[in-house]
Amino acid sequence: MLVNGIEVTVNNVPDMSQNEIVNYINHIEKLSANKLQYLNIAANNDGNVELDYKLRPAKFERIRRITGYLVGTTERFNNAKKAEVHDRVKHGLN
């Protein structure tokens, strides 16, 4: 089933409410500060609930030092700065 845009599977817990599922989702996302990709909820033999989940990758913007400036991209550079970036010698890791 789909809950808050997250694929959720519930096994061996027939009386689990939608509110309980939302509480599990909120708890995991609060602990990790990332959004869930999927969540599997299953009851084990001793009566406890096991949670198996995967988080969505965190989005980030790459910041580089180019020609003395910290930038994410060079799209706002003028033609002279773009030419300077193009003419630079780029070194590999090898």
pLDDT digit string, tens, across residues 37-53: 999 999 888 888 899 99
Whether residues 25 and 46 fall in one domain: yes
Whether residues 38 and 79 fall in one domain: no
49 domain residue, yes or no = yes
Name the pTM for this structure: 0.59
Whether residues 15 and 51 fall in one domain: yes
Whether residues 44 and 74 fall in one domain: no
67 domain residue, yes or no = yes
For the CA atoms of 85, 87, 88, 93, what is the dihedral angle to 10 degrees? 100
Whether residues 49 and 8 fall in one domain: yes
Mean pLDDT lowest among 2-11, 17-26, 29-38, 68-77: 68-77
DSSP, res 84: H
Give the domain range for residue 73. 59-89
Whether residues 15 and 38 fall in one domain: yes
28 contacts 53 by C-beta, under 8 angstroms: yes
Q: How many domains are there within the chain? A: 2
